[in-house]
Structure 1
Amino acid sequence: MITVERTDFVSVPVTDMARSKQFYGETLGLPLVSGDDAWPEYQLGENVSLYLIDPTNVGQPFTAPHSSSIALRVPDVAEARAALEAQGVEFGGDIFDTGVCHMAFFSDPDGNALMLHRRYAPRED
């Protein structure tokens, strides 16, 4: 048995590093926390970061984008969505209300699935 302390980062495969750095750093406004032009890592909130990787840099092909959304917690889904739409980001469908949270689905330039997310209902323990 191992002890997992936390998730340090989530890797996202990309095909055009410059385009992806512009999207994550400028369009989404995520702070760059480490790495250089070839290995950038952006902070996602308090305890996890998003690591952009060009699979060809490690001898692997880009086979497909992630299809399970990375949920980006925001204070207000509608407001964040409007800000991203103003920058040309396209969303798939309307804001989805699950009865517990709001979600809005979109993709990065390589087709990796992302979601704006905000839970509004209290958690039941």
Structure 2
Amino acid sequence: MANGIATVWMPVDDMARALKFYGETLGLTVKNEGEDWSELDANGVSIGLNAREDTHTESGGGAILTLQPDGTLYDELVRLTDAGVTFVGEVADRPWGRVASFKDSEGNDLQLYEPPSE
């Protein structure tokens, strides 16, 4: 039985570029940094940046990392857009919350999530 998330692994092609994106652009705390593996803290969840294996060079498909901003979804969308992030489509309004989709520097799928207002 799984009892929680230990680490989310994100495959990357360029570690320096990925660290800049996750550390500077998204504002996550870099816990350790290496050539083939780096780790960030996302409010208690570890995100591992793993150098992409030679046998897995495609950046499509796979897990989607969903982040919850400190402030409003709109404010974070503006901040990230100003930092050069391009969002895919419009903000999706769902009964369970709002989602804005974008890609990281390595082509992985990410989302901003805002729970529904009460």
TM range (shorter): 0.7 to 0.9
Match of 1:80 among 68, 76, 83: 76
Report the RMSD for the aligned CA atoms in angstroms.
1.9
Q: Deviations 1:41-77 (Å, cap 9, x if unpaired)? A: 111123x211111123xx6432334454211012311
Identity %: 29
**Corresponding residue number in structure 2 for 1:89:** 85
Stretches (4+) displaced over 4 A? none
Unaligned runs of 5+ in 1: none
CA contact (8 A) 1:13 1:62 kept: no
Tell me how many residue pairs correspond in the alignment.
Answer: 117
Task: Map 1:4-83 to 2 at 5 A.
Answer: 4-46=2-44, 48-56=45-53, 60-74=55-69, 75-83=71-79
What TM-score, normalized to structure 2? 0.86
Unaligned runs of 5+ in 2: none
Letter in 1 for 2:73: V
What TM-score, normalized to structure 1? 0.82
**Structure in which a larger fraction of residues adopt strand:** 2
Letter in 1 for 2:27: G
